[in-house]
Amino acid sequence: MKGKNTNSIFADYGLQNMKFSEYFIPTLKEVPSDAVIPSHILMIRSGMIRQLTAGVYSYLPLGLRVFKKIENIVREEMNAIGGNEFYLPALSPNELWAETGRLEDYGDDIFRIKNRELVLAPTHEEVFTSIAKPNLISYKNLPQVWYQIQTKFRNEPRPRGGMLRARQFTMKDAYSFDADWEGLDTSYKDQGKAYRNIFTRSGLKFFVVSAFSGAMGGSESEEFMVEAEAGEDSVAISEDGSFASNIEVAKSYIDKVQRKNSNLPIEEFPTPNVKTIDELAEFLGITDKSRLAKSRLFVVPSKTEGKKDEYVLALVCGDDEVSETKLFNLFNGIRPAHPEELMEIAGADAGSIGPVNFKNKDVIIVVDYRLQDADELISGACKNDFHFKNIDFKRDVPRVRYEDIRTVKEGELTPDKKSKIRITKAIEVGHIFKLGSRYAEALGAKYLDENGKENVLVMGSYGIGIERIAAAYIEQNHDKDGIIWGGEISPFKIHLICVNPKIENVKNSADDFYKELINKGFEVLYDDREDMSPGVKFKDADLIGIPLQMVISEKNLKNSEIELKFRRTGERTRVGLSDIINSLPNYLENL
């Protein structure tokens, strides 16, 4: 465990000890009707959060205490790699986002102020770069690592999963500024190491995957993931643990469709009312769909006035699916064609489109590597209710482009063929990007090197969701009774329970013991409530999930003992009152 950061004005936030009678912890017996996943249910039931409206939550004292502990871990690890902490405005001007093109890229996902030319920022690349531009003007100013822990906003169309997909949330976003790519490599590695420390200290079982950069852009990115049924991401992981990738960009080894070199003539045949690959296979009476070339049409909207949109026809084996993310990596801004556009572009509707006789002759045809140079293929004839058979990509489809555009599947081999892949759900808790010069170039952020030559700053971007860490931890650490806290992010280390506070000597003993614990520096939540039965107190203790419960009762006092319950295992033991203070560090060490 890292030592307390005495240089931080935030270091002692939330570390005060509390009596339950004075602390606002509105626990609930019933499961909230709108909560489905464990972390959402338990955060509400344990009194950590309350929903104000869809995707917007109030943080109550217990939840805020956990979130601030996570922030302090993040802050310490960022400072350890030379980070400078900022606090930037949530509002930023539209024109700044327009300069990088992200005002358009984000579309409806960004909150826009109707009566001002402002947005509520979901991230701060543009703002940080605008500060760097007039200040980081010499190689002597580099490298720099800047970060903030700040409220962010994202216009989620369907917020769900409690803190996992909210419209307002807290994020640590960091940015590195370097003179060259070698410097960026170093900054990226430093951030990766800091992230591993953060998630380890937060008690998460995590793994790292190669990932898609999305609207952030950049040449390389990695996600830090926590495996959980509630996860919104699908990831491909090898059985031996040597390979992990977000399914959006994952690659696998799979045999290609073999070329037969039969040179059979292409032939059109009717396929009435056949719209899908499954219907086509049934119509043909076959089960092997590998030679049924599944086609999907995409549009790349033009960003230049007067220039026409581009069209991309993507083809994969009939038993595969096109990865839209992989196509986005090849064609920035690409989108699926709308049903009403298909006839005008391709000459046919969905289910009858293929690479031969395509109406628009400038179409870009992209074929998955699995179908490279394949022949005897069947695909749409670009004529409703007709298909072609014996299509030969080498003979019949000029200017074809081969790329990895398929989505990997469970049971396929890793690219090195050493292990099988399994697909699982995971929660993203952090994401790091090599941005390169995209933002600095767009905003004109340049510096002079030692030879007086002007160069563009090279940047990295690094994000962590604070509440996501707490939610992911709960997803991994709960049982039927509630949360099971442990380690540095536990709201308290000890939950002291006075079973019979109306009995004077029991209450006095519990009060005295509480004072002794806090004087010794232990973090204690003391349940001193007089209007609650022992059963309610014990259920609340399990629901809130503090690692060590200490029970003071009349029976235990008669034996000069105190009862301990370990929340994770449910194990109970009794310890003599004279020994407990000296024994506590050993009990707490691994909780």
321 by DSSP, 3-state: which?
coil
61 by DSSP, 3-state: which?
helix
Beta strand pairing status for 84-86 and 144-153? parallel
Q: Which band of pLDDT confidence, cut at 50, 70 and 90, is reported for residue 149?
A: very high
- State residue 589's pLDDT score: 87
- State residue 214's pLDDT score: 52
Q: What are the domain boundaries of the chain? A: 24-249+423-475, 267-403, 492-588
Answering whether pTM is above 0.95, one says no
Helices (H) and strands (E) in the chain, counts: 16, 32
Superfamily of domain 267-403: YbaK/aminoacyl-tRNA synthetase-associated domain (3.90.960.10)
What does the pLDDT look like over 273-290, one tens digit per residue?
Answer: 999 999 999 999 999 999
The answer to whether residues 429 and 235 touch, using CB atoms and an 8 Å cutoff, is: no
What does the pLDDT look like over 23-59, one tens digit per residue?
Answer: 999 999 999 888 999 999 999 999 999 999 999 999 9
| Amino acid at position 342, single letter | L
pLDDT higher at 109 or 374? 374
Phi and psi at 207, nearest 5°, equal -145, 165
CA atoms within 13 Å, Cβ hemisphere of 302: 8
**Is pLDDT above 60 for 15?**
no
- State residue 288's pLDDT score: 95
- State residue 16's pLDDT score: 64
Whose tokens are 């327009």? That residue is 98
**Is pLDDT above 90 for 7?**
no
Q: For residues 581 and 562, give the distance between their C-alpha atoms in angstroms, rounded to a whole number.
A: 11
What does the pLDDT look like over 100-119, one tens digit per residue?
Answer: 888 888 888 899 999 999 99
Q: Which band of pLDDT confidence, cut at 50, 70 and 90, is reported for residue 219?
A: low
CATH number (3.30.930.10, 3.40.50.800, 1.10.274.30, 3.40.50.2000) of 492-588 reads 3.40.50.800
**Is pLDDT above 70 for 1?**
no
- State residue 216's pLDDT score: 43
The answer to whether residues 490 and 67 touch, using CB atoms and an 8 Å cutoff, is: no
Chain centroid to CA 488? 22
- State residue 232's pLDDT score: 87
Q: Which band of pLDDT confidence, cut at 50, 70 and 90, is reported for residue 4?
A: very low
- State residue 140's pLDDT score: 97
336-364: b (≥16 Cβ within 10 Å) or e: ebeeeebbebbbbebbbbbbbbbbeeebb
| Amino acid at position 80, single letter | A
Superfamily of domain 24-249+423-475: Bira Bifunctional Protein; Domain 2 (3.30.930.10)
Average pLDDT, the chain: 92
Q: Which band of pLDDT confidence, cut at 50, 70 and 90, is reported for residue 241?
A: confident
Least confident of 57-61, 211-215, 264-268: 211-215
**Is pLDDT above 60 for 14?**
no
* In the chain, % of residues over pLDDT 90: 85
Q: For residues 208 and 224, give the distance between their C-alpha atoms in angstroms, rounded to a whole number.
A: 5
The answer to whether residues 205 and 176 touch, using CB atoms and an 8 Å cutoff, is: no
Q: For residues 418 and 412, give the distance between their C-alpha atoms in angstroms, rounded to a whole number.
A: 11
- State residue 351's pLDDT score: 95
